[in-house]
Structure 1
Amino acid sequence: MGKLRLKSDHRLLCGDSTNVNDVSRLMNGDKADLVFSDPPYNVAYQGGTEDKLTIQNDAMDADDYIAFMDAFFKRFRESVKESASLYICHASQWQLETELALRRAGFEIRNPIIWAKNCGAFGFARYKFQHEPIFYAHVKGQSDKWYGDLTQTTVWHEKKPAANRLHPTMKPVEIVQRALVNSSKRNDIVLDLFMGSGTTLIAAQTLGRRCYGMELDPVYADVVVIRWEQFTGKKAVRITDKTPDNAEVCQKVEV
């Protein structure tokens, strides 16, 4: 699909997270030390800003969504080191299916983590959602790396973004930073096959990690590039020597 963009030690491909060729092109023979990713929750979510932002692959029937998870978790397994940890954000409604898909791909759940937000969601539900679950997992039968201290708990209190104007399900940078500090070291590769607005990239940039990212939607892929450029003051460089001449080029948008 889209051409690779190289930004310092980071890589971004506008492509399909379930496609073995796209993921192989992104990884370029490397293996990731850590995964932090926020796949579509399959809840047909619409952003609360005036633009009412949406994301692709967020309104599938159950069988299609499970097949989708099986495909991208398999790509994750093929792309990580045996010592890698995974942090996978997911919807409470699909928690069982997400865990089973992780297990089928060769991962084990080490802990459920709860992102406790500063306020609940709007709506008419009797209990308003004020949290999101994150699976902390590792390769089955392997020992994953740990660099954190022994004070960590499974409840992470972080404020949600005041307004998600770049992406409807944007996560706070601090959530990703916490995972990176605990489960990676400087210059490690952090893989995210669902880049969205690029929060994993920004967290990796601040902590000296290398981010390898995939984004299916050309609009959001360009949001990632622009956000990184604005954050660092640098310009992204497009890789062209290893991509087909007829590959799509993401169009830049203003944010």
Structure 2
Amino acid sequence: MKTLTIENVALNQIRAYAKNAKNHPESQIQQIAASIQQFGFNNPILVDENLEIIAGHGRMAAAQVLGLDTVPVIRLAHLSDAQKRAYRLADNKIAENGGWNADLLRLEISELEQICGDMDVSITGFSDVELDILTMDNRTTADSKANNVPYIPENEIVTRPGDVWCIGDHRIICGNSLDAVTFETLLGTRQADMVLQDPPYNVKISGHVCSSGNIRHKEFKMASGEMSTDEFAQFLHKNFELCAKYSRPGALQYNFMDWRHMGEILSAGTDAFSGLINMCVWCKTSGGMGSLYRSQHELCFIFKNGKESHTNNVQLGKNGRYRTNVWQYAGVNAFGRHRSDIQMHPTVKPVEMLKDAMLDVTRRGDVVLDTFLGSGSTLIAAHQSKRICYGIELEPLYVDTAIRRFLEMFHIDAVHQVSGKTYSELLTAKREVS
């Protein structure tokens, strides 16, 4: 077998093969360039004795993008003309004939994510959608734990109005979701890539939210049945306008609502956003409160911000995600009941449902804004799906609930932005005083 030698050759001396049948889209060239930057030029370009490429047109294009002066090559001068032509085809086609062991691939990606540090796992060439599908396949058992909401005594509430908490890349502010200053403090110059939230429905919790045993939920501080139809529409409109301002053009706005207030949310959303994309129905496994009919569904109205195109990871199942506008997930009553009667947020959404919505229309590292954060289900879902959650919550109790819930699940403590102290440190100090 002939000994092969690697040599560095000026890039401008290498010639592309005029009849190269392999297409290299710009996105792939960028991937190759990123790979070279991350790992080095470890796969030399194969050329003939005249420096005409036999294999490596994509690598040459990537080298041009990177502005390289020289590249490593291996001369295959021993091949006949027929062999060169055959090898050009074989080098590409044979690689396409292989497949993946899905279980081992999932394991490898999962382990890589644990050790990769600042390195982006997409450097492997897998798209965000492919990575999401691989890493989300084994999530069912984790989701049952994700829906647990911790007990917090009233005398142990650490958060105060105006507090900003940093939890890794995530941020939560205890503030008013109708106040522009709250949005500015939380987001600054960042824009949300998606809004996913559950505004209050302007109905009293008592008598409308299904409880179990002695559970008695707290009423919301706003829109808990005290507003008229016009006042509630204005409430939603003011929030939607701020969500639009602090979202990128094309960002989709997911807002849950009950059937009683379809008119108000459609009116507010139509005014604030560019249009209604769809309305999804969350179909629960069991009915809740009701008069003639027990309520077994909630609605999610999806609006679009601006005229730019929105992210679509579903594409009618092209990427392996089969999704419809009927969402079937267990309601909160299907989860374990180890919660206090005043602590559990009355309208908790299942984490799996929120996660799926994020996977539909965002990419890894995107910002998901929830201006009615409640007990933090959006925060949990964002972290599990490699997204970033920015949350607003008016009730200090629920901010603490979200922080403790996250801490119990991921062992990551929140840091108070002003004092620099962790939530656990401040909680310990509070307990010592009391």
Per the TM superposition, whether the score is higher than 0.5 is yes
For 1:56, which of 196, 215, 221 is the aligned residue? 221
Say whether 1:95 aligns with 2:262: yes
* Corresponding residue number in structure 2 for 1:43: 203
For 1:213, which of 385, 391, 394 is the aligned residue? 391
Where do residues 136-155 of structure 1 align in structure 2 (5 Å cutoff)?
136-150=302-316, 151-155=322-326
The code of the aligned residue for 1:161 comes to V
Say whether 1:29 aligns with 2:193: no
The code of the aligned residue for 1:200 comes to T
Moved over 6 A (4+): 249-253
* Corresponding residue number in structure 1 for 2:373: 195
Say whether 1:14 aligns with 2:14: no
For 2:332, which of 161, 164, 167 is the aligned residue? 161
Local SS of the residue matching 2:373 = coil
The code of the aligned residue for 2:386 comes to G
Q: Output the CA distance in 2 between the equivalents of 1:220 and 1:85.
A: 25
* Corresponding residue number in structure 1 for 2:295: 129
Distance 1:51 1:130, change over 3 A: closer
Contact 2:170 2:388 in 1 (8 A): yes
Distance 1:75 1:26, change over 3 A: same
**More strand per residue: 1 or 2?**
1
Local SS of the residue matching 2:332 = coil
Distance 1:231 1:139, change over 3 A: same
**More helix per residue: 1 or 2?**
2
Q: Output the CA distance in 2 between the equivalents of 1:206 and 1:228.
A: 11
Greater radius of gyration (CA): 2
Cα offset for 1:128? 1.3
Where do residues 96-111 of structure 1 align in structure 2 (5 Å cutoff)?
96-111=263-278
User: Which is worse superposed, 150-159 or 55-64?
Assistant: 55-64
Q: Output the CA distance in 2 between the equivalents of 1:11 and 1:220.
A: 14
* Corresponding residue number in structure 2 for 1:246: none
User: Which is worse superposed, 94-103 or 154-163?
Assistant: 154-163
Q: Output the CA distance in 2 between the equivalents of 1:149 and 1:161.
A: 30
Structure 2 unaligned regions, length at least 5: 1-160, 317-321, 421-425
Local SS of the residue matching 2:266 = helix
RMSD value, Cα: 2.2
Contact 2:273 2:306 in 1 (8 A): yes
Local SS of the residue matching 1:205 = helix
For 1:65, which of 219, 225, 232 is the aligned residue? 232
Local SS of the residue matching 1:70 = helix
Contact 1:111 1:136 in 2 (8 A): yes
Cα offset for 1:173? 0.5
Cα offset for 1:180? 0.4
Contact 2:232 2:264 in 1 (8 A): no
The code of the aligned residue for 1:227 comes to R
Local SS of the residue matching 2:401 = helix
Identity of aligned residues (%): 31
